[in-house]
Amino acid sequence: AGPDFNEHVLHKTILVGDSGVGKTSLLVQFDQGKFIPGSFSATVGIGFTVSTGRYCRVRWLQNKVVTVDGMRVKLQIWDTAGQERFRSVTHAYYRDAQALLLLYDITNKASFDNIRAWLTEIHEYAQRDVVIMLLGNKADMSSERVIRSEDGETLAREYGVPFLETSAKTGMNVELAFLAIAKELKYRA
């Protein structure tokens, strides 16, 4: 770990990507180890961001501790309340994020094409050193796949970010994705 790494600090980690790609399902799988089918868009929660002192609509605000090489890394994971449908994820959502999971759905070409737009927004509003990980979700739906793994890899390489295919349904690579984020947060310091 870097000399300044503090295991008591909460690292704000946000989920980003088009509506329906599986952000909430991924978080539920990581948090509870199970897949709850159906969309989560109906319920809206209210969260309070201490750092900005403003109310912000979030669907989920979950604290998780991940152990990396015997050291605890605390993640405060934020999920949107569906604002991504209107491309109106607030700038406050990005502002103090230290890590970001950017998702597309391997069965939805538009969600993959929109990754570039999301990255443009991220580069505009997020901190310069934000840790980014690109995820191709719904990898269990192989018969409906329209985005090849290589396409995800190529895009990730172009932007210099790590890439994994995940399944919020089977749990494939879900923990690994959060572990990779935690590892990066710990060692980049």
Residues of this chain that bind Mg ion (CB under 5 A) = 23-24, 40
Token pair recorded at residue 177: 């994705």
| Ramachandran class of 85: left when φ > 0, alpha when ψ lies in -120 to 50, beta otherwise | alpha
40 binds ligand GDP (CB under 6 A): yes
By a kind-dependent CB cut-off of 5 to 8 A, residue 140 interacts, out of Mg ion, ligand GDP, none, with ligand GDP
Residue partners of 155: CB distance under 8 A and separation at least 6: 112, 115, 116, 134, 163
CA-based angle 103:126:20, to the nearest 5? Answer: 25
Q: Which of residues 135-154 bind ligand GDP (CB under 6 A)?
A: 137-138, 140-141
Of 19 and 127, nearer to ligand GDP (C-beta) is 19
CB neighbour list of residue 167: distance below 8 Å, 6 or more residues apart: 137, 138, 139, 140, 173, 174
- Residue 174's alpha-carbon distances to 33, 100, 128, 158, 181, in angstroms, are 9, 14, 25, 23, 11
CB of 180 to ligand GDP, least distance (A): 18
The verdict on 167 binding ligand GDP (CB under 6 A) reads: yes
Which residues pair with residue 72 across a beta bridge? 67
CB 52: neighbour CB atoms within 10 A? 13
Q: Among residues 131, 130, 142, which one has the least CA distance to residue 172?
A: 142
Q: How far is the CB of 189 from Mg ion (least distance, A)?
A: 31
In the complex, the smallest distance separating the C-beta of residue 106 from Mg ion, rounded to whole angstroms, is: 17
Closer residue to Mg ion in complex, CB, 11/23: 23
Taking contact as CB under 6 A, which single stretch among the options 37-45, 60-68, 113-121, 156-164 is the one that binds ligand GDP? 37-45
Q: Report the nearest approach of ligand GDP to the CB of residue 99 (Å).
A: 17
Minimum CB distance to ligand GDP, residue 69 (Å) = 28
Per-residue contact string for residues 12-31; x = within reach of ligand GDP by CB under 6 A: -------xxxxxxx------
Residue 168 touches ligand GDP, criterion: CB under 6 A: yes
SS3 content of the chain, % helix, strand, coil (to 5): 35, 30, 40
Residues in contact with ligand GDP by the rule CB under 6 A: 19-25, 37-40, 137-138, 140-141, 167-169
